[in-house]
């Protein structure tokens, strides 16, 4: 064979061997998989803390995390409309979303150990539990929040009785020519959340419970006998101007920081402005009116979405939420960033003001987490608006009876 021809065949042989080696190498490269990537939705305020906590877990588990900052209220609604490829595996959620998200199959049950459960107040676990027959846990509580009565202690002492609150508030109303006595936000849209201490203090409740201890959407207590018996007090408050539905958050912020009123019913989110104004204050629970004036309790938690399974990261997502975000260390970090007290009893809150809000939560009622609560907020808020708008207000008994009828109709229509 000609020498040059031999060289050609030899070269072709080398190429063939190299090609075969390359083909064999491809499956080996493809078989190497990167660790799971967990996508988390949270609000902008807590995004840095959530990122830090999740990255610590990821570094120890060969995983990566992607934290997406969202408007907090939009997380619930967006979860039902987002495309699977853009969907989160884990979300920071409010407990009262639980019923709706679980009923629509958007979040999955979680099964923490008994040792983990012992680290949380039972009401926080109940808040993330849902089921018409058997309740299942759908979220790990991470933070708790509630409103309280903030008192400017340079203007008035911390009140012991409702009579003290009423008389002092009206004194400052007259002195400073205010449109209200008590600073509590409503506005034209109403605010059933901030008005709840008055509602509970007069004997109101949203849903009763059945024999199994589950919330009963057919037992609506918006116009129950005890509340209706005490509703004349709302008419009295409206007549004397103690409460005015036109009062909103900015009105309260201005009046309180300018020392025009000693009382403001609000939450930890208002503390920054109060401290900047150099005001000495204490937080307490609104004193008993006829019944204890307890607030609604809010619990925030981490939930695993159905999309974690779609993305093949469900085991990792559950480990992150159940075994890591539940820890005292993680919740202490989150408390430092979020302006809310940790849910884990072993976690520490670095802010003494949050401890005062915690004390003001005593006996509070977790916001109902069943889907039917969506039929309550607007009508209950508007019942307060109609009966506390000053001149031309509707008698409270009539206003709340109308709200109760409307709520019952909406719940029946949703079945």
**89-103, 127-141, 247-261, 284-298 — which is least confidently predicted?**
127-141
Average of per-residue pLDDT values in the chain: 91
76 neighbors 94 (Cβ within 8 angstroms):
yes
Mean pLDDT of 25-32: 34
Pairwise CA distance, residues 302 & 406, whole Å = 33
Mean pLDDT of 65-94: 96
Pairwise CA distance, residues 39 & 330, whole Å = 18
CA distances in angstroms from 336 to 48, 253, 330, 345, 383, listed in the order given = 11, 23, 10, 15, 37
What pLDDT is recorded for position 2?
43
What pLDDT is recorded for position 348?
86
Pairwise CA distance, residues 132 & 38, whole Å = 31
**8-12, 229-233, 261-265 — which is least confidently predicted?**
8-12
What pLDDT is recorded for position 139?
98
What pLDDT is recorded for position 414?
84
Mean pLDDT of 237-246: 97
* Sign of the C-alpha dihedral computed for residues 203, 207, 208 and 213 taken in this order: negative
What pLDDT is recorded for position 210?
87
Helix (H) or strand (E) holding 43, with range, is strand 37-43
Q: Using one digit for the tens of pLDDT, what is the confidence trace for 87-130?
A: 999 999 999 999 999 999 999 999 999 999 999 999 999 999 99
188 neighbors 251 (Cβ within 8 angstroms):
no
Q: Would you tell me how many other CB atoms lie within 10 Å of the CB of residue 174?
A: 11
Pairwise CA distance, residues 385 & 395, whole Å = 11
Pairwise CA distance, residues 76 & 371, whole Å = 12
Widest CA span of the chain, in angstroms? Answer: 117
- CB < 8 Å & 24+ apart, contacts of 58-61: 61/35, 61/316, 61/319
Q: Is the pLDDT of residue 392 over 90?
A: yes
What pLDDT is recorded for position 338?
67
Q: Phi first, then psi: what are they for 137, rounded to 5°?
A: -90, 130
Q: Using one digit for the tens of pLDDT, what is the confidence trace for 142-172?
A: 999 999 999 999 999 999 999 999 999 999 9
3-state secondary structure at position 53: helix
Res. 212 pLDDT band, cuts 50 70 90: confident
Q: Phi first, then psi: what are they for 229, rounded to 5°?
A: -65, -30
Res. 198 pLDDT band, cuts 50 70 90: very high
What pLDDT is recorded for position 26?
34
Structure tokens at 179: 């449109």
Name all domains of the chain by residue range, CATH numbers in brackets.
Answer: 37-138+298-360 (3.40.190.10), 148-295+367-413 (3.40.190.10)
Per the document, the length of the chain is 415
Q: Is the pLDDT of residue 33 over 70?
A: no
3-state secondary structure at position 398: helix
Mean pLDDT of 33-49: 91
In 3D space, the residue among 300, 316, 310, 302 whose CA is nearest the CA of residue 87 turns out to be 310
Q: Using one digit for the tens of pLDDT, what is the confidence trace for 113-124?
A: 999 999 999 999
């Amino acid at each position: 064979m000609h020498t040059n021809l031999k060289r050609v065949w030899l070269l072709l042989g080398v190429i063939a061997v190299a090609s075969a080696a390359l083909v064999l190498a491809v499956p080996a490269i493809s078989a190497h998989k990167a660790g799971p990537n967990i996508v988390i939705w949270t609000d902008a305020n807590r995004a840095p803390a959530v990122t830090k906590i999740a990255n610590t877990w990821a570094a120890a588990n060969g995983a990566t995390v992607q934290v997406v900052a969202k408007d907090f209220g939009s997380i619930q609604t967006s979860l039902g409309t987002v495309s699977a490829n853009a969907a989160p595996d884990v979300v920071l959620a409010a407990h009262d979303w639980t019923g709706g998200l679980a009923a629509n199959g958007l979040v999955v049950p979680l099964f923490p150990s008994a040792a983990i459960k012992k680290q949380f107040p039972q009401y926080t676990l109940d808040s993330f539990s849902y089921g018409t027959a058997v309740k299942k846990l759908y979220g790990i509580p991470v933070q708790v929040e509630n409103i309280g009565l903030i008192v400017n202690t340079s203007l008035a002492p911390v009140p012991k009785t409702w009579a003290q609150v009423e008389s002092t508030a009206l004194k400052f109303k007259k002195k400073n020519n205010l449109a209200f006595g008590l600073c509590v936000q409503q506005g034209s849209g109403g605010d059933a959340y901030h008005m709840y201490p008055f509602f509970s203090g007069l004997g109101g409740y949203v849903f009763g419970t059945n024999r199994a201890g589950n919330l009963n959407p057919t037992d609506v207590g918006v116009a129950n006998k005890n509340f209706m018996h005490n509703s004349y007090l709302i008419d009295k408050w409206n007549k004397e101007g103690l409460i005015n539905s036109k009062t909103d958050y900015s009105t309260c912020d201005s009046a309180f920081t300018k020392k025009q009123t000693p009382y403001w019913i609000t939450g930890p989110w208002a503390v920054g402005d109060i401290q900047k104004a150099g005001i000495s204050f204490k937080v307490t629970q609104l004193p008993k009116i006829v019944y204890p004036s307890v607030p609604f309790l809010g619990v925030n938690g981490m939930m695993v979405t159905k999309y974690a399974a779609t993305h093949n990261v469900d085991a990792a997502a559950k480990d992150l939420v159940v075994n890591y975000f539940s820890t005292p260390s993680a919740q202490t970090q989150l408390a430092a960033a979020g302006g809310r007290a940790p849910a884990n009893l072993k976690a520490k809150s670095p802010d003494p003001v949050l401890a005062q809000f915690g004390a003001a939560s005593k006996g509070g009622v977790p916001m109902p987490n069943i889907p039917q609560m969506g039929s309550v907020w607007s009508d209950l808020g508007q019942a307060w608006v109609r009966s506390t708008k000053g001149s031309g207000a509707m008698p409270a008994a009539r206003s709340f009876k109308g709200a109760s009828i409307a709520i019952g109709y909406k719940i029946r229509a949703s079945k």
